[in-house]
Structure 1
Amino acid sequence: MSLLERYIFKRALGFSLASLMSLVLIVWVVQALQRIDIVRTSASAAGNIFWIALMLVPDLAAGVVPFAIIIGAIQALNALNADSERAVIAASGASSAVVVKPILALGMVAALLLLVLSHVVGPAAQRGFYNGLRTINADAITLFLQPGRFVEIQDGLIISIGAVNGSTVDSLFLSDLRDPTADLTYFAKQAQILQRDQASYLLLIDGQLHRKTVADGATSIIQFQTYAFDLASLKPEGSDDWVRTSERPTGELLFPDLNDPDYQSKPASFTKELAQRFSDWLYPIAFALWALVVAGHPRTNRQGAGPAMVLGLSGALVLKALGFVSLSLVDRNVQLQLVVYLVPLASIAFSILLLYANVNVSDLSLVRRTGDAVRAIAQSGAALWPGASPAGGKAGRR
């Protein structure tokens, strides 16, 4: 890259990194800590919460990296216009590639990062997260639950034990009210913490399951010899994979064991996970090109930033929503996995077409009329507040 291209790349990279750190922090605080619904009375659990929450960062980062790219790219392009640098570049006769190349390079770097996160770091972090939850819940049951006391270890999940002998629990009672349609109550003469496939499970032995339907109050009783719970979420066997597809290495998804019970029962989940991992890296490129479409044209600093950021984020949200919808289609028909790749590829092709045709989306009449309507509504709303001054006007002096 030339000196000017490196300058633009560095500015866009700086804005993108700042956006990425802000987005990851916000999502981590709002989402990650809510997902760690583990024993709150355990000092050992409290000490491990921060470490386990860190295991969610790669997955969260993979979700927000494309948005950090489009925010950073648009901010950099708007800054070039605000400083009249973009207009000078155009007036000097420089090709539009001077602006396109660094922004596209930023998208490619982010795409490479997502490939590493999706195929290497992400699965390992997911294994660490769920194994950490299993360990904490196992410790809570065997070390911190006091015999004879009823403790709510999750919202709607209450457990009580009679006695603990190592990894064996006598007289276990478990009430599960998490399902709004049915109340589940488990009684077991004995329960054991066992290891399987590098994970911990709670195995109930010789007991009963009482199921009460909330709608009509009908109760059914099921006698069982063994009943297993995954200690990562305390969900019974069959309600989720023993080893989640998000925890599996990519090689294991590409060449699954045909005798694997998870693969035999849910082959579509393997296809869906692979489609997501191999398509995620396309979104940073699509978002970088879309940023060039909405903010890459030269403007004078008198024209202002315009609707570039609104258009950029709106288009990004629509594209990502379509990506989620296409992934959901794979559950119904694995042959529809092609749609997962077509969504970002179609966006890339559309943006390239607009750039080649030199279409300034921000100057389209529909966009201008929409922007004028929004500003008019905002000014009308501001006028309803006492003492409010019109946009661009000066507040009156006392």
Structure 2
Amino acid sequence: MTLLERYIFRRALISSAGALVSLSLIVWIVQALSRIDIVKTSASAAGNILWIALMLLPDLAAGVVPFAILIGAIQTLNGLNADSERAVISASGGSMMIVARPILLLGFLGGLLTLTVAHGLGPMASAGFYNGIRSINVDTITVFLRPGRFERVQSDLVLSVGESNGGTIKSLFIQDTRDPQLDLTYFAKEAAIIDNEESPVLMLFDGQLHRKERESGSISVIEFQTYAFDLADLKPATEERWTRTSEQSTLQLLTPDVNDPSYQRQPGRNVEELADRFTSWLYCIVFALWAVAVAGQPQTNRQASSAAMTFGLAGAIGLKALGFVTLSFVGDNPSSAVFVFAVPIVAAILDIVLIRRGLNFAQLAIVQTIVDWPRRISLMLGRRSKAGPADSAGRAGS
């Protein structure tokens, strides 16, 4: 790269890094706050939640990398125009490639980072996150249940405690309707969690078990002194696979166990996850090209630079939304994965065509009209405010 290209690349890299940190923190805080309500009684639980929330960062950061590159590139190009540097480059005979090459290099670096997360760090972090959620489900009774309230741990599992003191529980109630043939209701004066080598067990003391058969409606009551409730059953009682595709490595997705019932039921899930991992990096390059297309042309200081950012973000959001829509079809129709690849590739070709044609978005009539709206509205309001006192004075004189 030439000295000028290194200068543009350095500015774009700094702006993109700042945007990446800001966007990642905003999205991460929102995700973390949505789960902070389960931290109620234990400082160690708060530490666990913080660690679990940190596992969200790799995927969240990878998801906003394309937008960070777009924002950083447009800010850099707008800065070059604001300082008249872009006009000097053009006047001295510099081609568009002098501006496009460092921005495109930034897009490739962002794509490399996204690929690394998608095929390496991302699945490991996702597995750590969901394993933490599962461990929270196991410790729900002693840590997260508030005394006197009925909490729905799952759609078919309701728990309530009268009092919780460390690992000891007073007045425990459990309603378990996950079995399609039986409704189970547990009452216990005391309970405690015992960690076995295989799985944790909730020991119930001095209570009753009410069993109701749904078909016949008959009820049987069993009194017990001790009863073991297996906490390992606290997992989503749905048809979804317990190990999600996002937790599996790319090699596992490419070579699935054909005898796995969940894979036999929904083989398109693997294809959907693979399509997402192999196309997410392309958006970094597409958004870099789009930034050059909307903000790479030389402009004067009087031309609004906000139009480039507005059109850049609008186009990027629209393209990403289209990518999500096409990806959503892959789970039911794996052959539609070709459209997931087609969306960013076609968009990149269109961006290259726009750059080669030298189309200046700021000079388009529709852009000028949109940018001029605030000025027109302010002039209209100013005229009305001036006409108001004059009209009132006229009425007073008459």
- Report TM bin, short chain: 0.7 to 0.9
Query: Cα distance 1:33–1:381, how it changes in 2: closer, same or farther (>3 A)?
Result: farther
Structure 2 Cα separation of the partners of residues 367 and 357 of structure 1: 18
Q: C-alpha offsets along residues 186-214 of structure 1, whole Å, 9 cap, x if unaligned?
A: 63589998899xxx798999976899xxx
TM-score, with normalisation over the residues of structure 1?
0.78
Indicate yes or no: 2:36 matched with 1:40.
Answer: no
Indicate yes or no: 2:185 matched with 1:187.
Answer: yes
1:194-343 alignment, distance < 5 Å? 236-343=236-343
Indicate yes or no: 2:374 matched with 1:359.
Answer: no
Q: Is the 8 A contact 2:145 2:151 kept in 1?
A: no
Q: What 5-or-longer segments of structure 1 have no aligned partner?
A: 178-184, 212-219, 387-398
Instruction: Report the RMSD for the aligned CA atoms in angstroms.
Output: 4.1
Q: Is the 8 A contact 1:39 1:153 kept in 2?
A: no
Kindly state the Cα deviation for residue 87 of structure 1 after the two structures are TM-superposed: 0.6
Report what 2:136 is aligned to.
136
- The 3-state SS of whatever aligns with 1:330 is coil
Report what 2:5 is aligned to.
5
Residue type at the aligned position of 1:95: S
Q: Is the 8 A contact 1:159 1:174 kept in 2?
A: yes
Kindly state the Cα deviation for residue 257 of structure 1 after the two structures are TM-superposed: 0.8
Give the total of aligned pairs: 362
Q: What 5-or-longer segments of structure 2 have no aligned partner?
A: 178-182, 221-227, 387-398
1:11-22 alignment, distance < 5 Å? 11-22=11-22
Structure 2 Cα separation of the partners of residues 158 and 151 of structure 1: 7
Query: Cα distance 1:305–1:163, how it changes in 2: closer, same or farther (>3 A)?
Result: closer
Report what 1:105 is aligned to.
105
Q: Is the 8 A contact 2:32 2:53 kept in 1?
A: yes
Query: Cα distance 1:359–1:37, how it changes in 2: closer, same or farther (>3 A)?
Result: same
**Which is higher, the Rg of structure 1 or of structure 2?**
2
Report what 1:349 is aligned to.
349
Indicate yes or no: 2:366 matched with 1:369.
Answer: no
Query: Cα distance 1:303–1:159, how it changes in 2: closer, same or farther (>3 A)?
Result: same
Report what 1:86 is aligned to.
86
Structure 2 Cα separation of the partners of residues 274 and 195 of structure 1: 36
- The 3-state SS of whatever aligns with 1:331 is coil
- The 3-state SS of whatever aligns with 1:159 is strand
Report what 2:30 is aligned to.
30
Residue type at the aligned position of 2:110: A
Structure 2 Cα separation of the partners of residues 42 and 140 of structure 1: 11
Q: Is the 8 A contact 1:38 1:154 kept in 2?
A: no
Q: Is the 8 A contact 2:52 2:132 kept in 1?
A: yes
Q: Is the 8 A contact 1:70 1:288 kept in 2?
A: yes
Query: Cα distance 1:174–1:246, how it changes in 2: closer, same or farther (>3 A)?
Result: farther
Query: Cα distance 1:300–1:346, how it changes in 2: closer, same or farther (>3 A)?
Result: same
Q: C-alpha offsets along residues 129-170 of structure 1, whole Å, 9 cap, x if unaligned?
A: 1111222332343x5489996564869985236999xx9x99
1:29-68 alignment, distance < 5 Å? 29-35=29-35, 38-68=38-68
Residue type at the aligned position of 1:124: M
Structure 2 Cα separation of the partners of residues 84 and 46 of structure 1: 52
Report what 2:180 is aligned to.
none
